[in-house]
Amino acid sequence: MSSQKPSIPKGTRDFSPVEMVRRNYIFDTIRNVFQLFGYQPIETPAMENLSTLMGKYGEEGDKLLFKILNSGDYLQEVQNSKIKDQNFDLKTQNHKELTPYISEKGLRYDLTVPFARFVVQHQHELAFPFKRYQIQPVWRADRPQKGRYREFFQCDVDVIGSNSLLNEIELAQIIDEVFTRLDIPVIIKLNNRKILAGIAESIGAPDKLTDITMAIDKLDKVGLDKVNEELASRGLTPEAISRLQPVLLADGKIKEKKTLLEELFAGSATGTKGIEELCYVLRYLKELNLKNKFDFDLRLARGLNYYTGSIIEVKARDSSMGSLCGGGRYDDLTGIFGLPGVSGVGVSFGADRIYDVLLEMKRFPEALEAATRLMFVNFGPGEEKYCMDIISGVRASGIACEIYPDAAKLKKQMDYANRKNIPFVAFAGKDEIFNNLITVKDMKSGEQKSMRKEELINFLLV
């Protein structure tokens, strides 16, 4: 058999044991907080029917879907079929028309659409409001670059079947708790889609909501002049752009922004409703005394075609990294699968960005570096048997330990312990066995201590 150079597809990654321990720390922290607030786990298949996924993410999103070829001779179906009353010509056939004949399934693009499908499909089995969390990988056929992968994890938490703003408040508490436990100071930014719609109405451009919000979203990156140029290129009149300037320049305290909007929304019921909803959430959060800061950000405009109410985005205060978490309120998520009018709200934590921030800020706990806390040196069959009896008791106490499998040279065994960052190494030679002792070396300080077997567990638990 010829040799092959090992490789993986672009945009995917292998994770070393150290990286996996760190990633599991993030997942476990997030999962524990989700459960603390009463959310239940679900999982959906890695692949969905292509009909479930197509048309849900826009034209660009459809292009980024990984499609799975049908099993067997998938071209036979094409050769025996017709499109628009014409025989197939595989050399010239339009790929959009060809796809349904050769692919019925695709890898999930996100966790949201599969969640909507799940809720509708299992609606009679669920207790509403349904509080769910989901931590699974998703796939996108995007161009790989730094911080952007074709396979990555999403950590979603949603409550569906309730219009109550208490859900938004609870999500803010979840965000606060997660990042407090991870030791990442963040700022929780809030806005409301109704406020954005009210702004568009108030400047006389209700049909330009998407154009306005897309431009606002770029303000921090390109500056005011470029944003105004883009607004003009998108068809906004000079008068509308002029009336929008106070919003683009809005800064300062929440009260000042509220006053600005109230004056702007004199004739907009939608905008006024958005202010009411936002202020309700902000007042509640202030009374809760969150550990992290929160703010009303008029420039926050994520999920333009998806969200209908509250919008949330989270950024690290001491890092230039982008959004670590985001989401918002949606009023008709399940409508695309035949169950209209079911409102929900949720956020998604970006595990990969959180990992990068923890690494950059050196906030991963040192204890994560080693899965094994104690390694027993192997001096031979007799010593090995003596150690194996001790190992059973150590493991029964919940302490991870192992014995080197071969009676190799001591240097080789110690090198192994160092490479795995094992903090303690135990020795049991003839003298220790005769005196019913064990000698333990602290690999960091180099100190050694002999103790009775019964003392070992208490020593390791300190």
pLDDT, tens digit (0-9, with 9 covering 90-100), for 90-142: 665 667 777 877 889 999 999 999 999 999 999 999 999 999 999 999 999 98
Q: Are strands 103-107 and 130-139 parallel, antiparallel or unpaired?
A: unpaired
Query: Where exactly does CATH 3.40.50.800 map onto the chain?
Result: 370-461
- How far are the Cα atoms of 16, 144, 258, 327, 331 from residue 148, in angstroms, in the given order? 19, 6, 36, 19, 29
The order of strands in the sheet holding 323-330 is 40-41, 130-139, 151-160, 344-349, 323-330, 310-316, 186-192, 293-296
pLDDT digits (tens, 9 = 90+) for 136-156: 999 999 888 877 889 999 999
> Confidence class of residue 65 from pLDDT cuts 50, 70 and 90?
very high
Q: Are strands 47-49 and 103-107 parallel, antiparallel or unpaired?
A: antiparallel
Classify residue 413 as exposed, middle or buried by CB count within 10 Å of its CB (0-12, 13-18, 19+): buried
CA distance 113 to 56: 8
**Residues 354/324, Cβ–Cβ less than 8 Å:** yes
**DSSP string for residues in 304-356:** TTT-SSEEEEEEETT----EEEEEEEES-GGGGGT-TT--EEEEEE-HHHHHH
Q: At a CB cut-off of 8 Å and minimum separation 6, what does 135 contact?
A: 27, 30, 31, 41, 153, 154, 155, 156, 351
What is the model's pTM? Answer: 0.87
> Confidence class of residue 410 from pLDDT cuts 50, 70 and 90?
very high
Least confident of 41-45, 144-148, 382-386, 406-410: 144-148
Classify residue 36 as exposed, middle or buried by CB count within 10 Å of its CB (0-12, 13-18, 19+): exposed
Q: What token pair was written down for 395?
A: 């493991």
**DSSP string for residues in 247-282:** HHH--S-HHHHHHHHHHHTTT-HHHHHHHHHHHHHH
CA distance 123 to 145: 39
CA distance 358 to 332: 36
CA distance 438 to 74: 65
* Of 156, 143, 244, nearest in space to 200 by CA: 244
Query: Where exactly does CATH 3.30.930.10 map onto the chain?
Result: 17-46+108-361
pLDDT over threshold 60, residue 88 = no
Supply the pLDDT for residue 20.
Answer: 93
Classify residue 180 as exposed, middle or buried by CB count within 10 Å of its CB (0-12, 13-18, 19+): middle
- How far are the Cα atoms of 383, 428, 432, 453 from residue 436, in angstroms, in the given order? 12, 9, 6, 7
> Confidence class of residue 391 from pLDDT cuts 50, 70 and 90?
very high
> Residue 243: helix, strand or coil by DSSP?
helix
Residue identified by tokens 């300037």 is: 245
| Residue of higher predicted confidence among 207 and 282 | 282
pLDDT digits (tens, 9 = 90+) for 345-374: 999 999 999 999 999 999 998 777 668 999
Options 3.40.50.300, 3.40.50.880, 3.40.980.10, 3.30.930.10; CATH for 17-46+108-361 is 3.30.930.10
pLDDT over threshold 90, residue 45 = yes
Supply the pLDDT for residue 155.
Answer: 97
CATH 3.40.50.800 fits 370-461, yes or no: yes
Residue identified by tokens 């040279």 is: 409
> Confidence class of residue 79 from pLDDT cuts 50, 70 and 90?
low
Least confident of 15-19, 190-194, 217-221: 217-221
> Residue 87: helix, strand or coil by DSSP?
strand
Supply the pLDDT for residue 141.
Answer: 92
Residue identified by tokens 């105004």 is: 228
pLDDT digits (tens, 9 = 90+) for 226-271: 989 989 998 999 999 998 888 888 777 788 888 888 888 877 899 9
Q: How far apart are the first and last CA of the chain?
A: 54
CA distance 88 to 78: 7
Most confident option among 25-39, 142-156, 210-224: 25-39
> Confidence class of residue 453 from pLDDT cuts 50, 70 and 90?
confident
